[in-house]
Structure 1
Amino acid sequence: MEWRKCYLDVILVPLVFLTSIGYHFWLWHKVRTQPHTTIIGINASGRRNWVNAMMKDNDKKNILAVQSLRNTIMGATLMATTSILLCSGLAAVISSTYSVKKPLNDAVYGAHGEFMVALKYVTLLTIFLFSFFCHSLSIRFINQVNILINTPQDPMSLVTPQYIKEILEKGFILNTVGNRLFYAGLPLLLWIFGPVLVFLCSLTMVPVLYNLDFVFTSGKGKVDANEINRDFV
């Protein structure tokens, strides 16, 4: 009898996790081997060129550099705030009384025993907490770049353009990871109401991410793959 209630959760939800993990492993492989076909690889090359341009003519472009980095920090701050607010809301639901959670449980199509409800909320809390953690680290690294990019160039200085590029890439990689965790958590929010909605939402999200992550060109304007490969070594 218990299996009849939870078989959808046992089958569909792990399938959603495997689909998302498999897509991102494949995306990581493409970024490493064919970066010129992905938005992530092309953007990484563009950021390295941007750092060179900002530091080469720092006297004229220092304000532009600070404003650009500030906009990135604001975006990461927004995502971090949203993630921690979702965590707070989930924690409030977990600690609520039975009368508050009963309408949610009655609307569930699938298992809604005590163990399954706890598993749902703990999974969501873990994902959004890791998303908050990644965005917080991203803000830390980009804040460092915000200061170091205006450092006067000196032959004996340890703050070189290459060092700043590496810190900036760490910040953007963490920002990307935090965003992907957030995107993975959104379909799982529907798990509160049953696994079928999670599965359908995940099937919709993967094609959307694919169209956002890859560049489809006819051969014009492609970035040199060897140059971008150096960004991820």
Structure 2
Amino acid sequence: MHECGMHDNEKKNIIAIQTLRNSIMGSTLMATTSILLSAGLGAVISSTYSVKQPINNSVFGAHGELMVALKYVTILCIFLFSFFSHSLSIRFINQVNMLINCPQDPDSVVTPEYISELLEKGFTLNTIGNRLFYTALPLLLWIFGPLLAFLFSLTMIPVLYNLDFVFGCNKQGKTEHQINTCGDCESQ
């Protein structure tokens, strides 16, 4: 009976470590994408390539030198901050990965509370990095004009809202803003 409990605990430990590893991989992908887009934008900003003036600036937006520079620099800064947030997230989650199995010593600085704080910082920075990245996507379309940026923002708001809020159900089948822990609404 005791071995079964230990075996279950080992499975939970493996799942926890795999979850941390997957979070690190996701942050690495986002950080890499952010820095590659930053490098590409940096190359565009520093090149002598010029965009032709569109016929109708009211649809495509202003393409004067100052406005184009403002658009590129804004997007570049957002991608750089996204990269910075994801890099720090990777750092904190890697620390958690290494410290999570340290032996418990009452005099040690490494306590479960300390590890929990590191984990929270890592996931908070990951969320900030993702939000910055998502903010930069409509701004990329801003290069081509305000109409595309506005339309993309309108479509992105409901998507992000549904990602942020999980709709669960209570015992009467009424929808609530919570994590769905009761299973399918139809089954109750």
TM-score when normalising by structure 2 = 0.79
Query: In the aligned structure 1, how far is the partner of 2:65 from the partner of 2:16?
Result: 52
Secondary structure (helix, strand or coil) at the match of 2:108 reads coil
Q: CA separation of 1:60/1:151 partners in 2, compared to 1, >3 Å: closer, same or farther?
A: farther
**1:60/1:204 Cα in 2 relative to 1: closer, same or farther (>3 Å)?**
closer
% identical equivalent positions: 73
Q: Give the partner amino acid of 1:101.
A: S
- Cα shift at 1:95: 1.4
Distance 1:81 1:122, change over 3 A: same
Matched, 1:198 2:175: no
CA distance, structure 2, for counterparts of residue 75 and residue 211 of structure 1: 20
Question: Which residue matches 2:6?
Answer: none
Deviation, structure 1 residue 60: 6.4
* Greater fraction of residues in helix: 1
Number of the residue aligned with 2:108: 157
- 1:112 and 2:40 correspond: no
Aligned to 2:51: 102
Contact between 1:131 and 1:177, CA under 8 Å: does it hold in 2? yes
The answer for the alignment partner of 2:162 in structure 1 is 211
Equivalent residue, structure 1, for 2:186: none
| Bigger Rg, structure 1 or 2 | 2
The residue number in structure 2 matching 1:131 is: 82
CA distance in 1, matches of 2:62, 2:16: 52
Separation in 2, partners of 1:207, 1:62: 35
The verdict on how the C-alpha distance between 1:216 and 1:142 changes in structure 2, with shifts beyond 3 A counting, is same
- Counting only pairs closer than 5 Å after superposition, residues 139-150 of structure 1 correspond to structure 2 as 139-150=90-101
Instruction: State the aligned residue count.
Output: 164
Cα deviation, residue 62, structure 1: 4.8
Offset, 1:205: 0.7
TM-fit CA distance, 1:66: 3.0
What is the Cα-based RMSD across aligned positions, in Å?
2.2
Stretches of structure 1 that go unaligned for 5 or more consecutive residues are 1-56, 224-233
How many Å apart are 1:152 and its aligned residue? 1.1
Matched, 1:166 2:117: yes
**Alignment match, 1:92:** 43
1:178 corresponds to which of 129, 149, 156: 129
Gaps of 5+ in 2: 1-8, 180-188
Distance 2:79 2:29 in 1: 13
CA distance in 2, matches of 1:61, 1:217: 25
Farther-moved stretch of structure 1 (212-221 vs 115-124)? 212-221
Q: After alignment, is 59-68 or 107-116 more displaced?
A: 59-68
For residue 207 of structure 1, report the CA deviation from its aligned partner: 1.1
1:64: Cα distance to partner?
4.0
> Distance between the aligned counterparts of 1:64 and 1:102, measured in 2?
51
Cα gap change, 1:60/1:193 in structure 2, threshold over 3 Å: closer, same or farther?
closer
In the aligned structure 2, how far is the partner of 1:142 from the partner of 1:73? 7
* TM-score normalised by the chain length of structure 1: 0.65
